[in-house]
Amino acid sequence: MRIIETVAEMQAFSREARREGKSISLVPTMGFLHEGHASLMIEGKKRADILVTSIFVNPTQFGPTEDFDAYPRDLARDRNVAETAGVDIIFAPKASDMYPRGFQTYVNVEELTLPLCGASRPGHFQGVTTVVAKLLNIVMPHVALFGKKDFQQLAVIRRMAADLNMDVEIVGMPIVREADGLAMSSRNAYLGPEERRNALCLSRALATARDLFLDGERSVGTLRDRVLRVIGEVSGAVIDYADFRDGDTLEAVETANGRTLIALAVKIGTTRLIDNCILGEEQ
Ligand code: AMP
């Protein structure tokens, strides 16, 4: 495994690999890698000759009061996780190389970024789509893999790739969870022991709603009440959003079906966690 730290070197590597007829897969991350990231890498390795993972805590997707500075970073540990998962190249650029002086071009996806995290984190998705577009231009992958943990992000990136005719296959991968149901996240490192227990209310709320749905309940009002009740039982859990939306368009729905998305963002203490499920999909 090799670590590439500059945009120019990464582009030169990919250009040469493509010239040799090799296929490239890309798993973009912000590092502090866990098994969720590793699952994307293992699949990425199967889908191409060369697996690149980027590790870049992207400043443009954090709001001014968000956790950019505090975001956990551990490149030494990440190297081990990536190597074990079969990564060939870690691309770890500096912010000054990604956003040099004079930078002023951004990618915006419109409707899909309005609800959910787009509403509670203004500017977040513009930062995400811009950095992903840049990474796709730099790494030039044939395939790029993203987790359904960030469901809206995956939808937004698919839209961007289609709308801008990007010559890359976007692959969505299932959410990897801890044994007790908590969706893996680098931000779980922020949780103290009691918060870690409280954080289970997200996956518990989703499972409760999903069980009700599988028993035949279709009223979003009823399902939402149950979700709110499960989360409300936990003191120190503050809901940012608990939304029922169409899994393709992200439009609000009042009657649930198998493609209905339940998307949660909940603050546990100072840590904002997200989780989601599609009601008709295997978990
Ligand atoms: P991040 O480093 O949090 O930006 O995540 C990088 C990629 O890993 C994104 O595509 C995430 O959706 C994905 N990812 C993060 N956590 C999980 C998880 N628990 N299961 C599956 N994919 C994940």
> What are the tens digits of pLDDT across the range 157-178?
999 999 999 999 999 999 999 9
The answer on pLDDT for 67 being more than 90 is yes
Mutate to test the pocket of ligand 1, among 54, 87, 149, 203 (most ligand atoms within 8 A of CB): 149
185 is in an annotated binding site: yes
Q: Is 125 annotated as a binding residue?
A: no
Sequence length of the chain is: 283
Report whether 35 belongs to an annotated binding site.
Answer: yes
Q: Does the annotation mark 37 as catalytic?
A: yes
Which residue bears the tokens 């399902």? 223
* Contact call for residues 211 and 219 (beta carbons, < 8 A): no
pTM: 0.98
The 10 Å Cβ neighbour count of residue 240 is 17
Can you give the pLDDT at residue 80? 98
- Give the pLDDT band of residue 283 (cuts 50, 70, 90): confident
Residue with token string 């044994």: 179
Which letter does DSSP use for residue 121 in this model? S
141 CB near ligand 1 (under 6 Å): no
Question: Which of 96-103's residues contact partners 24+ apart within 8 Å by CB, and which partners?
Answer: 97/5, 97/6, 97/7, 98/7, 98/56, 98/58, 98/131, 98/134, 99/59, 99/60
Q: How far apart are the C-alpha atoms of 275 and 202, rounded to whole Å?
A: 7
Domain ranges in the chain are: 2-173, 186-275
Ligand 1 centroid, distance to 107 Cα (angstroms): 21
Supply the pLDDT for residue 38: 98
- The C-alpha atoms of residue 251 and residue 138 are separated, in whole angstroms, by 33
Reported as a single tens digit per residue, the pLDDT across 124-143 is 999 999 999 999 999 999 99
Cβ–ligand 1 distance for 55 under 6 Å, the answer: no
pLDDT at 178: 98
Average pLDDT of the segment spanning 67-79: 97
| Ligand 1 close to Cβ of residue 183 (< 6 A) | yes
- Catalytic choice (25, 27, 29, 37): 37
Q: Write down the architecture of domain 186-275 according to CATH.
A: 2-Layer Sandwich (3.30)
What is the CATH code of the structural domain delimited by 2-173?
Answer: 3.40.50.620
Residue 74: predicted pLDDT: 98
Distance 279 CA to ligand 1 centre (A): 20
